[in-house]
Amino acid sequence: MFSWLRPMGRLLTHQATCRVLALSVFMAAAIGIGLMPTGNGLEAGGKDKRFPAPEIASGEEWLNVANPLSLEKLKGRIVVLDFWTLCCINCIHTLPDLAKLEAKYPGMLVVIGVHSPKFEHEKKTEAIRKAILKYEIKHPIINDADHKVWKRFRVNSWPTLVVIDPDGNIVARGSGEGLHDALDKLLGELVKEYRAKKTLKEDVLDFQLAKEKVQTPLFFPGKVLADGPGKRLFIADSTHHRIVITNLDGQKIAVAGNGADGFKDGGYDVAQFSDPQGMTLIGDTLYVADRKNHAIRALDLKKQTVKTVAGTGEQDRRGRFNGGPAAKTGLNSPWDLMEYKGKIFVAMAGHHQIWTYDPKAQTVEPYAGDGAEDIVDGPLDRAAFAQPSGLTHDGKNLYVADSETSSIRALPLDGTGNVSSVVGEGLFEFGDKDGIGKDVRLQHPLAVVQHEGLLYVADTYNSKIKVIDPKTKSCFTFKGAGEEWKGKPFEEPAGLSLIGDKLYVADTNNHRIRVVDLRARTVRTVELSGVEPPRKIVEKKK
């Protein structure tokens, strides 16, 4: 999330949000609304301080709806504009809050997502369409590729919510995640006001939601774990909310999770996950980063049961420095897991930190990062990360795919020493460029794996596999000789795992697992057998 305030008074480096407070006051006066710091609630102007909202769009492309909308068409309904970008963890955290409010105020409330991108890749309509499906968004979205709507509403941080009353006036706005309760209170007041006026429309609008052309056995698989000794693949079938287990040829062994988006322990057939991501294996136990449940789950592969071992099931936004008993300590979007000598390192994307989970002691603790969203090297407790999403190691160093800074970071496994940057320079320094050191540019990498002294990186928004030598800091795009490889074999790859010279890739937006032969430099798809999409989901997460 990109906001104005930082822990410890650190200066901002975000191009889009580095503004002085005086500017925010000017903006508030200009359009008649207040501007609040992150997570402190909505700033409402009151009935006598409402001002007409500018038109929400003018020529931008719309998704998740049959035809473009306008404030005139939406007169009589409350409109909430959600300015977001698909990479941002805080924007992702805001989506479930908005979904709850849409369900509570059907017809009366219309949420419109204004997708104002950070990364170049996010400007693409197809990338946004995939994100709509991945995050199961049920409201219209504007592709604000050139930030025209962003500028019209004078927004300067992700996420920002703008509330417009049924008369078309701006009522309030707020920046940051965690605004559900304040927004709910305001919506309730507006509903009461406009029901009294008898001008509130409550019939439910029918939007034409995005759909994939065909159903696939996997749906946006986020991570993959290849188990050489067991000759198994563990696949985080993320948007199907389950874990798929196959042999190396793709034949089904088991499926954990019934496909419903929820939070439930028990046998594989009744257990529920919510956007599971990274996994690590210790003996006969598979540990899973259950991202949207803010928890770590343990699969007993023999008994075929699922148990929550860390996290409470609720997001913790303030406990980034407070470890403790695993079952009683809140987590914040754990995105990847990696075992080392019995300890599990956790890429805690929501806290912008690295944590550890000790299965024997049943405790969780912060390991590195001060919680600021930035790229800062130095001592473990003073360094800064930005949405870490992938982990690997070489026996000495832990390597991190630090997605929001488009960087690869290195830190010691033994707890002594400093965090350093292998490649990557800043929150707004990204691209697609091979080279050495400061010349290298990645774009939102989500996974990294170590092999024979080299780091293989899922350069997610460039849809490529890059190879980095951490000693020389050199980077090159891995290319193969096969005819198929000359095209575009991946679309937003987000997970990597290795067995020998075989690199398994979660080809997320293509809904499949691919295998790269590092010696032959060829690529093939794992053909799944016996794995079907889950049955119609009837249970929904509360």
- Please check the confidence at residue 19 and state whether its pLDDT lies above 70: no
Farthest CA pair distance, the chain = 72
* Residue 349 CB coordination number (10 Å): 27
Please give the structure tokens belonging to residue 130. 């995939």
DSSP code per residue over 19-66: --HHHHHHHHHHHT---PPTTS--EE--GGG-EEPPPS-SS-EEESSS
Query: Which 3-state string (H, E, C) describes 161-176?
Result: EEEECCCCEEEEEEEC
Residue 30 confidence class, pLDDT cut points 50, 70, 90: very low
Q: Which helix (H) or strand (E) holds 148?
A: helix 148-152
Q: Is residue 318 very low, low, confident or very high in pLDDT (cuts 50, 70, 90)?
A: confident
**Roughly how many angstroms between the first and final C-alpha of the chain, as a whole number?**
25
If residue 397 lies in a helix (H) or strand (E), which one and from where to where? strand 397-402
Q: What is the pLDDT of residues 120-137, one digit of tens each?
A: 999 999 999 999 999 999
Inform me whether the pLDDT recorded for 476 exceeds 80: yes
**pLDDT value of residue 514:** 97
CB atoms near residue 35 (< 10 Å) = 23
> Chain-centre distance of CA 36, in angstroms?
24
User: Residue 319: pLDDT band by 50, 70, 90 thresholds?
Assistant: confident
- When pLDDT is cut at 50, 70 and 90, the band that residue 541 belongs to is very low
Which pairing describes strands 242-247 and 232-237: parallel, antiparallel, or unpaired?
Answer: antiparallel
Q: How many CB atoms lie within 10 A of CB 214?
A: 7
The answer to whether 236 touches 224, Cβ cutoff 8 Å, is: yes
For tokens 């309509």, the residue is 125
- pLDDT value, residue 45: 60
CA distance 455 to 457: 6
* CA atoms of 350 and 346, how far apart (whole Å): 11
Can you give the pLDDT at residue 2?
Answer: 30
Asked if pLDDT for residue 49 goes beyond 80, the answer is no
Q: Which domains does the chain have, with CATH numbers?
A: 7-196 (3.40.30.10)
Instruction: Collect all residues with Cβ–Cβ distance below 8 Å to 22 and sequence separation of at least 6.
Output: none
Whether the predicted pLDDT of 17 surpasses 90: no
Strand 160-164 and strand 232-237: the pairing is unpaired
pLDDT at 12 > cutoff 90: no
Task: Return mean pLDDT, the chain.
Answer: 90
R_g over Cα of the chain: 23
How far apart (Å, rounded) are the C-alpha atoms in residues 347 and 513? 22
What pLDDT does 398 receive? Answer: 98
